[in-house]
Amino acid sequence: MGSAVEIESLDVRVSSLQNLLRMGSWRVETPHSSERARLYWITKGQGRITACGVTRGFGQHTAIYLPPRTMYAFEFPSHVYGTRLCFPIDLSEQLPEEALYLKITDSRHQAELTQVLDQITTEVRDHNQGWHAAARSYSALVAVQLERFENAYGRQIRPIGSAQRIVEGYTGLIEDHLSEGLTVADYAQKLGITPTHLTRVCREVCGKTASNLLHERVINEARRLLEDTDQPIRNIAQDLGFGSAAYFTRAFGQRIGITPSAARRIGQQRRRAGRAA
């Protein structure tokens, strides 16, 4: 893939991890989620992922599957290579309901998954006749491969202790109420625990306080909307629960180091460069 822009075919999106990181490491390294199911196929390098209240290390030939609306964040301490596939939304019934961590050890299975992902990339890059249908069909084949690999290697990313279950519940609630401007105390009440306890378990499981997790997730979503869409800044602030555009600008600047307007310009420049490429 020669461009740093994610390749998309209407409802199938595919990108190399290197290209994603060129677009901004924050896109994978800060808490975020997607309405689409995603597969990360790591072919080289190592790192860690936090999802569903569980942090796990990964190395080469690891497939990580994340259902829609799963909050997650990667850590890439070394150079990591691989592919991210965003599945078509209407394939959801064919995909696993739980997040998966699959260490694929059989070289034949490694080659099969790599080959299909390469085929998807080729179809949506070259625009040959019928490429939309081909990309969707190959994505459905990946869904079948996931089912087979789950049976062969399967390990769901599941909370194994009470602290991890609390963090899983907390991150799930954040996704459900992202635009409502709820506080840590509001979420703690929904979970039936104190804010102090929620903060303690978040720090224990993720190394971050409950407040940091919440604020990072909200600001990350704001940055994504600023860079990837033309939605007015005031609407983004309102939709994410900020009381005023001025408060949003201060909070965004403190976390990101630039203004929302500057983030919007970066996104516009990147998209123009992608179209030119």
Tens-place pLDDT, residues 229-251: 999 999 999 999 898 999 999 99
pLDDT of amino acid 75: 92
Q: Which strand ranges, in their side-by-side order, compose the sheet holding 81-86?
A: 7-9, 12-16, 81-86, 38-44, 62-66, 100-103
CA 159 to chain centre: 19
- The three-class DSSP label of residue 242 is coil
pLDDT of amino acid 3: 38
d(CA 105, CA 91): 26
Fold of 7-153: Jelly Rolls (2.60.120)
Instruction: Give the containing element (helix H, strand E) for 138.
Output: helix 131-153
Start-end of CATH 2.60.120.280 domains in the chain: 7-153
**Contact yes or no for 65/56 (Cβ under 8 A):** no
49: β partners: 56, 74
- The three-class DSSP label of residue 16 is strand
Q: What are phi and psi of 158, to 5 degrees?
A: -120, 145
pLDDT of amino acid 116: 98
d(CA 21, CA 5): 10
**Contact yes or no for 230/223 (Cβ under 8 A):** no
Fold of 162-276: Arc Repressor Mutant, subunit A (1.10.10)
Start-end of CATH 1.10.10.60 domains in the chain: 162-276
DSSP 8-class letter at 11: T
The mean predicted confidence, pLDDT, of the chain is 90
- Residues 74-82, mean pLDDT to the nearest whole number: 89
Rg of the chain taking only CA atoms, in angstroms: 19
pLDDT for 134-164, tens place per residue?
Answer: 999 999 999 999 999 999 997 777 767 899 9
d(CA 125, CA 198): 45
pLDDT of amino acid 276: 58
